[in-house]
Amino acid sequence: MSELIPYITKPREDTGLTNGKLGMWLFLASEVMLFGGLFSAYVLLRVGAAPEHWHEGAKTLNTWIGTFNTAVLIGSSVSMVMAWASLKLDNLGRARMYMAITIVLALIFLAVKIQFEYMYKFGHHIYPSTDIYYGIYFTITGLHAIHVLGGVIAIAWFLLPGVSLWRSDPEHYTLRIEYVGLYWHFVDLVWIFLFPILYLL
């Protein structure tokens, strides 16, 4: 494959990056623009909203749940780094263990978000249409949750059927885990910005 498509495992001379890493950085740049637009909308809506349509929303979020989920996602970033480091040390078994831990932590994040936040609010008749605050809250956190789910699917692929690449081309497999890790760290970074903005301010 690397003979047919260049720069799969070797960096390009012009960028110093492999095709996969360059593609991932370009994709993440588009994601920055997406979430940047939503953050900008949040700021504009908050500045322009009447107090009765804003402050009550922030007070009803559970800061402890948000803190727990933040810790869970930070832990998942650590385990993703450990998975990549284990592959660099030629230890596939340990790498798969860390990838499994990352998936479990991500699913815990989603379960807590859905059960203790979304379902709780729906049970109290709080929806995106309730007010401006909840409109932007459900939009941003919902989009972030979809990104978390996408990361889980990608990691699960490389944990299970995608692991066959390791047997034919370990270096290529290790690079793909690095690219997925970049995406995962971005998802975690978005939440680190979301948590203080939505839960603390």
Share above pLDDT 90 across residues of the chain, in percent, rounded to a whole number: 70
Average model confidence (pLDDT) for the chain? 91
Residue 2 has pLDDT above 50, yes or no: no
Confidence of residue 29 (pLDDT cuts 50, 70, 90): very high
pLDDT score recorded for residue 98: 98
Q: What is the mean pLDDT of residues 109-126?
A: 94
74-87 residue pLDDT tens: 999 999 999 999 99
Residue 158 has pLDDT above 90, yes or no: yes
Rounded CA-CA distance 128/151 in Å is 25
Strand ranges (E), the chain: none
Residue 1 has pLDDT above 60, yes or no: no
Residue 51 has pLDDT above 80, yes or no: no
Q: What is the mean pLDDT of residues 87-115?
A: 98
Domains (range + CATH), the chain? 30-200 (1.20.120.80)
Q: What share of the chain is helix, strand, coil (3-state, %, to 5)?
A: 80, 0, 20
Which tokens hold the place of 81? 């780094």
pLDDT score recorded for residue 130: 84
Rounded CA-CA distance 22/12 in Å is 9
